[in-house]
Amino acid sequence: SAASQDQKFCLQEVLDTFKLCLSEKKEVYLQHYVDGWRGLVKLLNSLGNVFGFISKDAVSKIQILVNHLSGENGSQYVTVQSMVKYEMDNGLVDLTKRGSHPESGCRTLLRLHRALRWLDLFLERLRTSTEDDKTSVMCAEAYNQSLARHHPWVVRTAAGVAFCVLPGRPAFFEVMNVGPPENVVAILGEALPLISEVYQVTEELYAQNNLLDIP
């Protein structure tokens, strides 16, 4: 049905959303960033319930950002750049320890930003993989090189368990919903530079503002 089709993840959709993220002046539009994550969460959900604890956290962070976007100061949240400026200028970010702003846009987006690095590494491995490569290994390697260092032991352990039940490469490619493996590889090749660029721009912005380690 049209409704279930709607729910179905398509890799192309996510690619398109990340394409829209960057303005000509290399600003990151928060709305498209959030939409990109929504598409990713759809895929994650179609992989099964074991990933529920991961998608739940992603969804709650997406929701925090959506609330900022639709809130009374929504116009300050159009780009990640304007969000950082607004929250920093107005003392709305807990910079050294958690306090009165547990849901700042800056700290919330930082969590997704770190996950975007994982995605970038994982998808690049997937793109260049061969039939015998294991998604669980590619996923774990990407995780260990990125997100893992920001997660406590319990979360790392739970993530490790979830990776083990990832579908194999053929089933994984199928879930992307864009046809034969060659297509997946081609679309990934197109998408990855864009995702990397969004990551890099955000990383530099956060570095300049000393926001890379906010609690």
8: left (phi over 0), alpha (psi -120 to 50) or beta: beta
Q: Quick one: which of 22, 84, 138, 159 contacts ligand 1PX (CB under 6 A)?
A: 159
Are residues 32 and 21 in contact, defined by beta-carbon separation less than 8 angstroms? yes
Site for ligand 1PX in 128-147 (CB under 6 A): 139, 143, 147
203: left (phi over 0), alpha (psi -120 to 50) or beta: alpha
Q: Quick one: which of 29, 33, 86, 118 contacts ligand 1PX (CB under 6 A)?
A: 118
Give me 41's structure tokens: 């969460």
Q: Quick one: which of 16, 27, 46, 57 contacts ligand 1PX (CB under 6 A)?
A: 57
> Any contact of residue 212 with ligand 1PX (CB under 6 A)?
no
Q: Quick one: which of 50, 155, 185, 201 contacts ligand 1PX (CB under 6 A)?
A: 155
Query: Is the CB of 21 or the CB of 139 nearer to ligand 1PX?
Result: 139
Site for ligand 1PX in 8-37 (CB under 6 A): 11
Query: Is the CB of 2 or the CB of 154 nearer to ligand 1PX?
Result: 154
Other beta carbons within 10 Å of 33: 25
**DSSP codes of every residue in 80-141:** HHHHHHHHHHTT-S--SS--S-TT-HHHHHHHHHHHHHHHHHHHHHHHT--TT--HHHHHHH
Other beta carbons within 10 Å of 207: 10
Q: Quick one: which of 54, 84, 205, 214 contacts ligand 1PX (CB under 6 A)?
A: 54
Q: Is 79 helix (H, G, I), strand (E, B) or coil?
A: strand
Interacting stretch for ligand 1PX, rule CB under 6 A, among 19-27, 51-59, 68-76, 79-87?
A: 51-59
CB of 115 to ligand 1PX, least distance (A): 4
How many residues lie near ligand 1PX (CB under 6 A)? 21
Neighbouring residues of 201: CB distance < 8 A, sequence distance ≥ 6: 22, 26, 27, 28
> Any contact of residue 43 with ligand 1PX (CB under 6 A)?
yes
Positions in the binding site for ligand 1PX (CB under 6 A): 11, 40, 43-44, 51, 53-54, 57-58, 111, 114-115, 118, 123, 139, 143, 147, 155, 159, 166, 176
